[in-house]
Amino acid sequence: MLRFLTAGESHGRGLSVIVEGMPAGVPLTDGDINTWLARRQGGYGRGGRMAIERDRAEILAGVRGGLTLGSPVALFIANRDWENWQEIMAPGPEARADRVVTRPRPGHADLPGGLKYHQADLRNILERASARETAARVAAGAVAAALLKELAVELAFHVVRIGPVEVRRQVDWEAACRAVESPVYCADPEAGRAMVAAIEEARQQGDTLGGVVEVLARGVPAGLGSHVHWDRRLDGRLAQALMSIPAIKGVEIGAGFRVAALPGSRVHDAIAYREGQGFYHPTNRAGGLEGGLTNGETLVLRAAMKPIPTLMHPLPSVDLITKQPATASIERSDVCAVPAAAVVAAAAVAWVLAGAILEQFGGDFLPLIQERLVAYRQYLQEI
């Protein structure tokens, strides 16, 4: 079974990742992971923290000679800002009680986390609830993506909305792959320029913007997931992975929420058959998933991100200690992190797909998995 754990706080020494279940023989270097991390740090609208950090993953275990060993893969991403926080975030009793946070930010985990864990200093909540943790998740997703690459499964991502600006044309695979060339990872140049302008306007007003990202995956064989139990449905697992990303408030697959307003004749995809290809769908409104299983078409998933809760003109709050009205705390933050969310979403999708493939085909070393997957793809073409 493929699984990972992360540990670390936003201003702590760094982020640790343990990936378990990765088969042996998968090509993997720190460069593969760092490409993903650099894209997560990119995107117009990022704040001062990204000017400090230069995320680099160090492979500590589980890889030798550029190939995974089948043992747990251990990664570490250092926080460069640690030198400014080491006395405050020290794990021992000598930690200084500076930068205490008692005014919770609306829309953040500050208040519910403080109540749950009985914390008077909300820094003990926000340090872990911070989206900084997604750097570790992206690193784990990059490991999964390295496996998918060897299995001929490809990923692409792009931004379809930031604030009021939306891409209103269909984005094909090639355009989605080129989206990383845009400062906001948008496949439509005109919409991308308007998104940059919207971010600048929000920055000047001390506000923040959310948006919508899209992740595509092609080369995914039909039959991943299952309809037989609720927790084996791949659409549910993908949605959970995307919803677990901080600030994500909605997930769509294929035509998504639009299907609620359309008749079935305009929603469902007809089935066709071609010699040498097998069964296929001429359209893809289902987004590559039917009944909890992949159907062989390109996966299309979208996630909606709310604006970041930290505002330069903070909303009203209540002080946790005095119980008196107060303005919410201000932490260093971004104006818009939607482009970064697209990278995190792609990493989350990569992780779920890699796990589903390993569940379906098994195998502790890469050539065996490749052999089984090739045979299965041939079966699908000839059935």
Q: Which residues are annotated as a binding site?
A: 40, 46, 128-130, 291, 306-310, 332
Cβ neighbours of residue 153 closer than 8 Å, sequence gap 6 or more:
217, 218, 219, 220, 353, 357
Q: What share of the chain is helix, strand, coil (3-state, %, to 5)?
A: 40, 20, 40
What stretches of 195-247 adopt beta strand conformation (E)? 211-218
Rounded to a whole number, what is the largest CA-CA distance in the chain?
A: 73
Minimal CA–CA distance to 308: which of 211, 174, 171, 187?
211
Distance CA(269)–CA(287), nearest Å, equals 10
Cβ neighbours of residue 80 closer than 8 Å, sequence gap 6 or more:
52, 53, 54
The helix (run of H) or strand (run of E) holding residue 63 is strand 63-64
Residues paired with 77 in a beta bridge: 15, 57
Sequence ranges of the binding site for FMN: 128-130, 291, 306-310, 332
Cβ neighbours of residue 20 closer than 8 Å, sequence gap 6 or more:
1, 2, 3, 4, 72, 73
**Type of residue at 378:** Q
Sequence ranges of the binding site for NADP(+): 40, 46
The conformation of residue 126, written as its DSSP 8-state character, comes to H
Phi, psi of 5 (to 5 degrees): -130, 145
Secondary structure tally for the chain: helices H, strands E: 11, 17
Q: Determine whether 378 is exposed, middle or buried from the number of CB atoms within 10 Å of its CB (0-12, 13-18, 19+).
A: exposed
